[in-house]
Structure 1
Amino acid sequence: MTRADPRRPLIGITTYQDDAAWSGWHQRASLVPQTYVDAVFRAGGTPVLLPPQPGGAEHLLDALDGLVLAGGPDLDPARYGAAADPRTGPPHHARDDWESTLLRSALTRDLPLLGVCRGMQLLNVELGGTLLQHLPDGSHQKLPAQFVRHRVEMADGSRLATVLGPDAEVSCYHHQAVDRLGSGLRPTARGADGTVEALEPDGHRFALGVQWHPETDPDDLRLFQALIAHALTASR
């Protein structure tokens, strides 16, 4: 694969589709918080934004060395056979469909993968799991847009523990969580209240889902550096 800088693997980052404003414009836009872009770049990768679209996932993954499934709105509960709780956000079908296709193809290819918040929940749902649609108010997020800092404990022998150690203080912003585990998934971190905070699928070189937001901590790039290290190996 020819790149301007072959030392920097190409890392896809999924994006939102939402109304946005800039300069004098107010339009529908594909966007992602800059913190994701900065984290991938500072960890040694070249970020590539992947907006929701009706096709082309296989072609894109042919060109990528790794994938980040970014956080975002609630998944459609119909995807795991549930009726929507009144506190669940409106569905985003285009993004759900797009990221589902990317995720399944990435797992099939054994492409290095990091799912963040919604990305971890998608991993669980796509492998047959379900979600709790609402946690106690203020326990894992504070409205409006305030992260909750809390400590999580890693499972012994997990890839996550290898990267982060036995425990870590993390920034969470979610009101939903894993309920029934998907097939072949192992919970590899939990909060003090027992909430599953990380998942790892069996049989993959590097595939992690974390419920927290590692991209918001510019002083701790270890998860992104681990993703980049495996992406470099995959691109050779």
Structure 2
Amino acid sequence: MINGKLVILVSSDSGVLQSGARELRSPAAYTRAIAQAGAVPVIGGEQCPEELAELCDGLLLSGGPDIEPELFGETIYNDTVHMDTPRTKYEYALLKAFLAKGKAVMGICRGEQLINVYLGGDMYQDLAHQKGLFHSSYELRHKVKAVPGSFVEKLLGSEFLVNSTHHQAVRNLAPGLKLAAESADGVIEAYEHESLPIFGVQWHPERLTNIMRDERTPDMAPLFTYFLEKVKAHTK
């Protein structure tokens, strides 16, 4: 903590400059959502995972490119699968370090998928081709149904709309993860671990709160408050 506030590590996105150099960046919506919830956001820079797990109180794994199929025992399904292996290796190291210290982790979109695969679950590599479902459009809003009694129902209600910009999706949940919400067409949209301070959502709540509030959906600020409550409960 710093000045009485929790410190949250937000995993960075990446890209390649014209020079070919690797670039690290982060959409402002993630850090804004964490700050508005009352914590201090820190952007991870693909270095020193163990030290950052010591310094920071919790981990937010952000959205981004696809997950490597080899991590769940498959080969690449088709040419729509685009990965960032250096990022995945680093985020695996972050997960290992934070979980070893018993600290809370929240996953958003790719982050939700990555946690599931890390813990032993698998994925739809291309949701449109493998399930005939299109969930990837910045303008799209679709219905989510929360599992009765789940954290999602308690925070956001039993049914509501969310944004939808994902190409992949969780297929089978890893051991220890329990379903918290799914889309009307049966895609896993949220889960929580039975005993560890881990949860994830498939949609992008950081884009549905604060200055990015969307009147078609609930305000997603309660998800970040819930995350910080978990972080505080597991901060020594």
Give the superposition deviation at 1:233.
3.7
Provide the secondary structure at the position in 2 that maps to 1:102: helix
TM-score (norm 1): 0.87
Aligned counterpart, 1:222: 222
199 and 95 in structure 1: CA distance in 2 versus 1, 3 angstrom threshold: same
Whether contact under 8 Å (1:133, 1:176) holds in the other structure is: yes
Q: Which runs of 5+ in 2 are unaligned?
A: 214-218
- Which of 77, 95, 106 is residue 103 of structure 1 equivalent to? 95
CA contact (8 A) 1:139 1:148 kept: no
Counterpart of 1:13 (choices 10, 15, 19) is 10
Q: Quote how far apart the aligned CAs of 1:115 are.
A: 0.1
How big is the shift at 1:215?
A: 0.4
What amino acid is the match of 2:82?
P
Q: Which residue identity is paired with 1:48?
A: V
Number of residues paired by the alignment? 224
Question: Do the aligned partners of 2:31 and 2:41 also contact (CA within 8 Å) in 1?
Answer: yes
- Bigger CA drift: 37-46 or 221-230? 221-230
**1:35: Cα distance to partner?**
0.6
Q: What is the DSSP-based 3-state SS (H/G/I as helix, E as strand, rest coil) of the residue aligned with 1:208?
A: strand
1:1-236 equivalent positions in 2, closer than 5 A: 3=2, 5-6=3-4, 8-19=5-16, 28-53=22-47, 56-136=48-128, 139-142=134-137, 146-204=138-196, 206-218=197-209, 219=213, 220=219, 221-235=221-235
Per-residue deviation, residues 139-162 of structure 1 (Å, max 9, x unmatched): 2113xxx24211101111222222
Tell me the alpha carbon deviations over residues 95-153 of structure 1, each in whole angstroms, 9 at most, x when there is no partner: 111111212332333312210000111111111111111122772113xxx24211101
Higher mean alpha-carbon deviation, 44-53 vs 103-112, is at 103-112
Structural RMSD (CA): 2.1
Give identity over the alignment, percent: 34
Residue number in structure 1 paired with 2:216: none
Contact in 2 for aligned 1:140/1:147 (Cα 8 Å): no
Structure 1 residues 147 and 133: CA distance shift in structure 2, 3 A: farther
Q: Is the 8 A contact 2:81 2:125 kept in 1?
A: no
Distance 1:233 1:200, change over 3 A: closer
- Judge conservation of contact 1:74–1:88 (CA < 8 Å) in 2: no
- Could you list the per-position Cα deviations for residues 38-72 of structure 1 after superposition, in whole angstroms to 9, with x for gaps in the alignment? 1111111111001223xx21211111111100000
| Per-residue deviation, residues 182-224 of structure 1 (Å, max 9, x unmatched) | 11111111001100111211202x3211000000012421111
CA drift at 1:165: 2.3
Q: Which whole-Å CA distance do the structure 1 matches of 2:120 and 2:133 have between them?
A: 28
Please give the alpha-carbon distance, in whole angstroms, between the structure 2 residues aligned to 1:66 and 1:147.
31
Which of structure 1's runs of 4+ aligned residues deviate more than 4 A?
Answer: none
Amino acid at match of 2:75: A
